[in-house]
Amino acid sequence: MAHPLVPQIIDLATPVAEELGLEVVGVVFHTNQSPPVLRVDIRNPEQDTGLNDCERMSRALEASLDAAQIVPDAYVLEVSSPGISRQLVTDREFISFKGFPVIVSTTPPYDGQQEWTGQLIRRDETALYLNQKGRVVEIPCSLITKVQLDQRR
């Protein structure tokens, strides 16, 4: 379950990221650590997200968080890139990774399989389309539990 401060942090971090030409793709607040760790994942839509992007976002976000006083106690801010193993969620990600190898998980199994691999063709309102060695496979969106980039290739 997400920490109750996460929506406020996202509301604060999103315009900070946009000013820097970046996008916020995830926020997690780990309060079970001492001090708590606030992790913000960012993405540079123009190029690979680099250390410089993370440093710029960290400095700008730290100043905004301190000024807003959203987090009441001491915490550690981590700004990072989610990396290539991440799940595809947004329409933009499905468009950006067209042609990339993906792993699609379904529940319940579809056509006797729970995991599908292939090159991403596209996703629409009803289905996700994969290219499996020249054969197009159509998987109903209602059965898909996860789509992630396939790093095994």
CATH number for the domain whose boundaries are 6-80: 3.30.300.70
Does the pLDDT at position 149 exceed 70? yes
In DSSP terms, 115 is beta-bridged to 105
3-state secondary structure the chain: CCCCCHHHHHHHHHHHHHHCCCEEEEEEEECCCCCCEEEEEEECCCCCCCHHHHHHHHHHHHHHHHHHCCCCCCCEEEEECCCCCCECCCHHHHHHCCCCEEEEEEEEEECCEEEEEEEEEEECCCEEEEEECCEEEEEEHHHEEEEEECCCC
Confidence of residue 60 (pLDDT cuts 50, 70, 90): very high
pLDDT at position 153 over 70: no
The pLDDT of residue 87: 79
Say which residues have a Cβ less than 8 Å from residue 24's Cβ, sequence separation at least 6.
10, 13, 14, 17, 40, 41, 42
Residue-wise pLDDT tens digits, 69-125: 998 889 999 998 876 557 788 787 888 889 999 999 999 999 999 999 999 999 999
| pLDDT for the residue numbered 85 | 54
Dump pLDDT digits (tens) for 9-35. 999 999 999 999 999 988 989 888 889
Instruction: Write down the pLDDT at residue 81.
Output: 83
Question: What is the reported pLDDT for 67?
Answer: 93
Domain boundaries, the chain: 6-80, 91-149
CATH class of residue range 91-149: mainly beta
CA atoms of 52 and 70, how far apart (whole Å):
25
pLDDT of residue 129: 97
